[in-house]
Amino acid sequence: MNFRNIESFLSVDTHEAEKLGRLLAGILTSDLEKIRRGIRDNDPESIRFVAHSIKGASGNLGFQSLSQLAAVMETRTRAGQLDGLEDLLLEMQQFLEKLEDSLSGR
Amino acid sequence: MADVYSILVVDDNLLNLKLIEKVLTKEGYNTLLSDNGPDARRIAAQEHPDLILLDIEMPDENGFEVIQKLKNDPATATIPVLFLTGVSEVDVKLKGFELGAVDYIVKPFHPEEVLARVRIHLKLSIATNSLVQEQARKLRQITQAQNALLPRPEDFPNARFSVFYRPLEEAGGDFYDILNISNQITGYFLGDSSGHDIETSYTTASVKALLAQNCTPLYSPCESMKMINDVLVEILPEDKYLTACYMHLNRGTRIMTLVNAGHPPVIYMPKGKNPFFIKVPGDILGMFPDAAFGIKRFSVNEGDRFFLYSDGMVESKEKKISWVAGVQGLLSFFEGVGQINLSHLPSTLISRIFNGYPIPEDDIVLLCIEV
């Protein structure tokens, strides 16, 4: 996932896109940790809240795939389900790593 | 430079805050940012932004609670609020509208949509404010026009009267008039129209014109009131009427004629004596074609005083006191005022009756007349 997607989606320059990308990466790192904690503590409501937040923020930057993953997670946890969340979490983690790679020029 | 509009953005997600800030500042808006409800409310009250973009899903105090508190606070109640929601359920949107939001933006949002909605609601807000300002200006004009209709004692020195007049709203329902019927005859009219709205101010103007047309030497006081009643029955809306008191004083013959149309009783204070009520019940004005007014005709002497007043002086809806009950203790306030200069009487009596200054529950008129 390349942070430069933000450039075209929001019509901002590379510098602005990078700043927003770094902000998303920082927030996502913290949010994914909260989701891990929620899975460990069997706390669907706290996961739902974080997933809801990721859904909006990533969608606002044009990262539809991440937004859709978060939407699925939000729907499941709203119903109190914790099954399959690890898979979704893993996909989110992979998204984060790709974003960080693009930010560090790799 | 054109006006810079300020927009308060409230979202617990820092990325959303930064993104909306970027979108808005690029278009020349001034942004205020908050990541929680209590801070947002404090900023709104202090800075009074032109618009608020408010996230619903926030920890601790959610957007619904924030908007409810904003709308309950007079300092922030009129600021338009657009809520940001990641939830597309109708119930959530309806709840936002019920609480006073003007619109919503579903997250994820596109920057152009945010800008478009901000623009349209700023335009609506500006238009509404202009309308309010225009209405306020017109109401001020009505107040000025209505005040211009009220005679001042200095313009009628021979009528020997003084007055306290305070309308509850811009368009008062109470009014009075002084009529120079002849060199020796003066008419004093005090009316209380139902309502305080703009329609009422037109009633006031109509009655003033009718008084000028009908209170002439050709007609007896009762005939004058009956003719005015006939016209009012025709022109007033069904639920509108007046209570009124008309006093016709002939200083040549020293005869006072009192016509009462459902109005609280006049207080009569013969010179050097205690005050008492003159109770002459009668029908109200403007409601019945065959209205029967209370009439009393009696001799008076120089220096005698009369007091006409509206129900606002004796009635209290808050304390559940009708004017009938309210007049019971009224006479005690008039004791010993015989020596007070006529021009000082209204303020002295109002101060006594209201123990300082009247609480605004209704229009108040007190007309003091000396023979």
Examine residue A89 and state whether it is found in any structural domain, yes or no.
Answer: yes
Number of A–B residue contacts, CB under 8 Å: 53
CATH for A66 = 1.20.120
Domains of chain B: 6-140 (3.40.50.2300), 150-370 (3.60.40.10)
Buried b vs exposed e over B356-365: b needs ≥16 C-beta within 10 Å? eebeeebbbb
pLDDT for B338 equals 81
Nearest CA in chain B to A60: B108
CB distance B136 to B92 below 8 Å: no
CB contact under 8 A, A59 and B107: yes
Distance from CA of A84 to the nearest CA of B (A): 22
A106 vs B283, residue with greater confidence: B283
User: Which residues are bridge partners to B246 per DSSP?
Assistant: B189, B259
Q: What value does the CA radius of gyration of chain A take, rounded to a whole number of Å? A: 14
Examine residue A31 and state whether it is found in any structural domain, yes or no.
Answer: yes
Question: Residue A67 belongs to what domain range?
Answer: 5-98
pLDDT for B68 equals 94
ipTM of the complex: 0.83
B16 close to A (CB below 8 A): yes
Q: What mean pLDDT comes out for the span A31-52?
A: 94
The owner of tokens 């957007």 is B63
How many distinct structural domains can be found in chain A? Answer: 1
Examine residue A105 and state whether it is found in any structural domain, yes or no.
Answer: no
pLDDT for B354 equals 80
Distance, CA of B341 to CA of B153 (rounded, Å)? 14
The SS3 assignment for B275 reads coil
CB contact under 8 A, A20 and B13: no
Name the residue facing B13 among A16, A56, A67 (closest C-beta). A56
What is the pTM (predicted TM-score) of this model?
A: 0.55
Give the torsion through C-alpha atoms of B215, B221, B226, B232, to 10 deg: 40
* Max CA distance (Å), chain A: 42
Q: What is the pLDDT of residues B136-186, one digit of tens each?
A: 676 666 667 677 778 889 888 889 999 988 876 655 678 899 999 988 899
CB contact under 8 A, B15 and A57: yes
Residue numbers in chain B where pLDDT is lower than 50: none
Q: Which of B19, B35, B36 to mutate to test the interface with A (most CBs of A within 10 A)?
A: B19
